[in-house]
Structure 1
Amino acid sequence: MDSRHWWQDAVFYQIYPRSFADSDGDGVGDLPGITANLDHLSDMTGGLGVDAVWLSPFHPSPGADFGYDISDHCAVDPVFGTLSDFDELLAAAHRRGLRIITDLVPNHTSDQHPWFSDSRSSRSSMRRDWYIWADPSPDGGPPNNWLSCFPAAGSAWTPDELTGQYYLHSFTRHQPDLNWWNPQVRAAFADVMRFWLNRGVDGFRVDVPHRILKDPELRDNPPALAGLRRAAQAPSGVRPRNLDHPGIHEVMRFMRRVLDSYPDRMMVGEVGVTDPLRLAAYSGRGDELHLAFNFAFWSQPWSAARFQETVAVAESTLPSHAWPTYALSNHDLPRAAGRYDHDGHGPERMRLAAMMLLTLRGTPFLYYGEEIGMADVFIPATDRFDPDGRDSQRSPMQWDHSEHCGFTTGRPWLPTPVAPGTVSVAAQRDDPGSLLHLYRDLLALRRRHRALTGGSYQAMETGNDGVFAFQRRTGEDRLIIALNLTAAPATAQMPGLPAAGRRLHSTLPRPKSSTALDPLQLAPHEGVIVQLPT
């Protein structure tokens, strides 16, 4: 890219507000709780050293999809606080050098949103066409074969007795889909964006942009896609009619124009398509999304070859004006610390994963608690709320070893571990060998070495299937990152390198020192960053 932008060099930290910190003892995390713990995140206050915070929804919501069923896009749900609390959070973050992006949910609203209440009041309502309504099929059933992406919801259509038509919902029946073919809907959402941009937010994470537009004729999905619930299930080369519609790119350009009317803002999209070329298309010609999440890491086994292949696909398919992203976990997926702990090596692997994530070319996204190695928490059936079974990865932040891990003085909305062991901020804060300290060190290293933010990426041949190695370079700053993803010592043969370099960091407790590169010897589960001589 011709010039650098803050979001290219930034490391983002996702906060699920219900689960980060509870300030008032009601058992639910809130905005003042986040504000009180910003020092944990900011380098200016000796914290983790991230650059930006992504806040999952905190808007008024009946809770059918825990914040993603919004009933007022321009307000704060009282459970999280007030607009004044949000303004204070934003100001406190900016004082600490942290940027804030918020969730923008354009595909649907809550069925309790005033827009939908008006729309369903009669077929002649002025907002009737703000949502997607259709007559029953000839047999009286749903208008077509589209399915909700939540299995429990079944069809993507729900009948409305008052008006005798069905309304479309890609998620639960309490989340009716908006009709983005209607210019009034676009204008209304432009106003929503401006409301938060005027308050000073630094951008948005756009929820499921690939679902915003559907086939205007509401035709059935082809037989090969009749059971499709998510884009990842679509066979290669077959395009569904209820998501990833070609017209979505004009909508993305519309949203980008609104954003670009404010200086230095950005948006990242949760584009749930697996075809890398179709994913890359959401950057347009540099006039659509600034960033699109790369979901590929989340489905990979613990394998050097598979990680290297994932990066190679991103590097080869993204156009020159686009920029990669990488993440290991989020609020919708099992946490990486548990995913990769199938044989008891999870803690060592999380150190390697941290080094990989923070040294690749692209923008990293961390999920709250990832910096201390939080894993999914077992949630008894009686305590589960989420319609798609995602409670375990949304458990409260583990701050210390007090009751409820320091998250709340009340009864937490989801259970916390009875004995978190060393997986807490308090246990790791002063331990130089902890995962938290490794994250701090790696983030500091990113700030010192331009090669780790703006440098080129080159995969390295190692002669060892268990080692993922690559070079980051800008000017004379050349770094080799080598990750031994096995439980055995490894030798990496990397032709063309100098005989030795300076080891800047290791995932093991090793000092900075000269290290041989011909070959490079790695201990079990060791990752290293080596600076090459100029």
Structure 2
Amino acid sequence: MTQIWGSPLPPPIAGVASRLEHVAGLQVKGLVLGPLHPQSSGVPQDTPLEQLDPGLGSLSDLSHLLQAAKKKGIQVILDLTPNYLGGSAWFGPAVAEDPGFQDKVKRAMSLWLERGVAGFFLDGIEELKPSVLAEWRNLTEQSSPEGTPRVLVGGTRLQDPPSLLALLNSSSVGLVLGPFLEALVAKPFSPTLVPQLLDFLGPQIPLAWSVGSPWHHLVGVTPLRAQLLLLLWTLPGTPVLSYGDEVGLMDDEQGGLPGTPQPGQLTPMPWDLIEAIQKGDNSTEAQLLELCRRLGALRVQERSLSLGDAEAVPAGSAAAFLRSWDKSKRFLVVLNPRDQPLPALALQDPRLPPQATLHLSTHHLPPADPHVDLGAINLRPYEGLLLSFPYTP
């Protein structure tokens, strides 16, 4: 299982290396870094994709980061999106379809692979032909020294579910990151949320879920944010955190909109808050961070969460799904999609036992007695629960 912790406008490379302990504490296995190349203001074909912006550090700094990340089991993936500050990730169709520019991207990919990165993130893949992406994927995956797999991750700025599903059906990358959750929670949750989410798994293309996008933080510290994070860690696919998601970071009122980022408008990572939490701060942000750490640990430990199938469970006014793998412990996710309590919710399904064990709630710590009667669950507004029960033949 790979997880990605991304930062679209990175701090100096040496600073990233100094924060790897925090990243590793979230059970992150992949770190998206960059873009690192200077943003060209001239002709797109002159964009220096193979260069490292000296304002971000040196190649020696990058080498140190790669080695430090490897020791913690973290793969560093480079964001090589050419026009990362513009409305079109590829400067428009004329450039995206230009064989000369495509060769330029290939040469840059080969050079960065030689420098030791573990793969690439390319945004705006809906602007590229599947055959081009397939060629770049082959180049990336065939360059795997010491048996370490390398990956090409594609990002999309498409918003509506039909377009996203069409892209998944035609994608030629190893993993697709898109605003799947954002598209479905733009309006209030409904009990149909789970079937809609599981529809995205139909094409059998590996998915990466996020609570926002690389350019835009969602929601802030709210019950809804915690519920989204619970979904993020428990759905099949790859959970993706943009920096600060784990503490409910928000952009200010001048923050860039999805697909239209502007330099300097994203809120910096609040490292002072992280340090305060490490010293014992028990703020709402600290509780959100603890929720992420616990969910990350469970996903690593439990095969049903990392590898299992997902099935919708009828839940009346709530939303619920079941994760299961072979003879492993089953996990049940229950969500209250409303801003009103749901008292005495009855989950009656032949796949479920009468009782389950409560692992965590988005609203409070598990009680002293974690046994929950599935015939009478009490949910607070926007509360999410993660429960489990043993496999039985």
TM-score, length basis structure 1: 0.63
The answer to whether residue 97 in structure 2 is matched with residue 97 in structure 1 is no
**Contact in 2 for aligned 1:379/1:391 (Cα 8 Å):** no
Residue 75 of structure 2 corresponds to residue 83 of structure 1: no
Aligned equivalent of 2:332: 480
How do 1:3-22 residues align onto structure 2 when only pairs under 5 Å count? 9-18=1-10
Show structure 1 runs of 5+ residues with no match: 1-8, 19-28, 111-148, 151-169, 213-247, 339-345, 401-423
Q: 1:486-517: per-residue Cα shift (whole Å, max 9, x none)?
A: 33321433222211011122221224611111
Partner of 1:296: 180
The one-letter code matched in structure 2 to 1:426 is E
In structure 2, the partner of 1:502 is: 357
Q: Is the 8 A contact 1:331 1:394 kept in 2?
A: no
**Partners in 1 of 2:13 and 2:45 — Cα distance?**
19
**1:428/1:435 contact within 8 Å kept:** no
Which shows bigger deviation, 487-496 or 177-186? 177-186
AA aligned to 1:201 is V
Mapped pair 1:348 → 2:257? no
**Cα distance 1:302–1:89, how it changes in 2: closer, same or farther (>3 A)?**
farther
Q: Is the 8 A contact 1:377 1:392 kept in 2?
A: no
Q: Who is 2:113 aligned against?
A: 197
Give the aligned residue type for 1:50.
Answer: V
Which among 158, 170, 173 is matched to residue 282 of structure 1?
A: 170
Aligned to 1:332: 215
CA–CA separation in structure 2 for the residues paired with 1:291 and 1:181: 22
Partners of 2:209 and 2:334 in 1: CA distance: 18
Q: CA 1:348 to 1:185, structure 2 compared with 1: closer, same or farther past 3 Å? A: closer
Q: 1:434 maps to what in 2?
A: 287
**Structure 1 consecutive aligned stretches of length 4 or more whose deviation exceeds 6 Å:** none
Give the equivalent residue in structure 1 for 2:371. 514
User: What do you get for the CA RMSD once the two structures are aligned?
Assistant: 3.0
Write the letter of the residue equivalent to 1:454.
L
Distance 1:462 1:96, change over 3 A: same
CA spacing shift, 1:259–1:389, aligned 2, 3 Å: closer
Contact 2:215-2:261 within 8 A present in 1 as well: no
The letter of the residue matching 1:298 is E
**Counterpart check, 1:312 vs 2:168:** no
Instruction: Give 1:330 shift.
Output: 2.4
Cα 1:176–1:528, aligned 2, differ >3 Å: closer, same or farther?
A: closer
8 A contact 1:56–1:102 mirrored in 2: yes
Q: State the 1:101 CA deviation.
A: 0.6
Cα distance, 1:192–1:95 mapped onto 2, change above 3 Å = same
Q: Aligned pair in 2 of structure 1 residues 203, 184: CA closer, same or farther (>3 Å)?
A: same
Partner AA of 1:445 in structure 2: L
Structure 1 residue matching 2:339: 3-state secondary structure: coil
Is the Cα–Cα contact under 8 Å of residues 29 and 75 in structure 2 kept in the other structure?
yes
SS at match of 2:78: strand
Residue 515 of structure 1: SS of its match in structure 2?
strand
Shift of 1:306: 5.8
Look up the match of 1:373.
248
What is the percentage of aligned positions where both structures have the same residue? 26
Partner Cα distance (2:76, 2:219) in 1:
26
Provide the residue aligned with 1:59 in structure 2. Answer: 37
The alignment status of 1:425 with 2:278, answered yes or no, reads no
> Is the alpha carbon distance of 1:180 and 1:15 closer, same or farther for their aligned partners in structure 2, counting shifts above 3 Å?
closer
Query: What do residues 359-416 of structure 1 show as CA deviations (whole Å, max 9, x unaligned)?
Result: 0111111110110111112449xxx9x994656861111111xxxxxxxxxxxxxxxx
- Aligned partner letter, 2:114: N
Distance 1:482 1:176 in 2: 43
Q: Is the 8 A contact 1:361 1:454 kept in 2?
A: yes
Equivalent pair of 2:211/2:229 in contact (CA under 8 Å): no
Unaligned runs of 5+ in 2: none
1:331 touches 1:393 (CA, 8 Å); kept in 2?
no
Paired positions, count = 371
User: Is 2:10 aligned against 1:33?
Assistant: no
Structure with the larger helix share? 2
For 2:372, what is the secondary structure of its paired residue?
Answer: strand
CA contact (8 A) 1:51 1:99 kept: yes
Query: Would the alpha carbon gap of residues 352 and 427 (structure 1) be closer, same or farther in structure 2, given more than 3 Å must change?
Result: farther
In the superposition, the TM-score normalised over structure 2's length comes to 0.85
Q: CA deviation at 1:62?
A: 4.5
**TM alignment of 1:63-462, pairs within 5 A:** 71-105=47-81, 150=87, 170=88, 179=95, 183-212=99-128, 248-263=129-144, 264-273=149-158, 274=160, 275-283=163-171, 288-299=172-183, 300-305=186-191, 307-316=193-202, 318=203, 320=204, 322-333=205-216, 335-338=217-220, 346-379=221-254, 388=260, 390=262, 394-400=266-272, 424-429=273-278, 430-431=280-281, 434-462=287-315
Q: Specify the code of the residue in structure 1 equivalent to 2:39.
A: S
> Tell me, what secondary structure is at the counterpart of 1:336?
coil
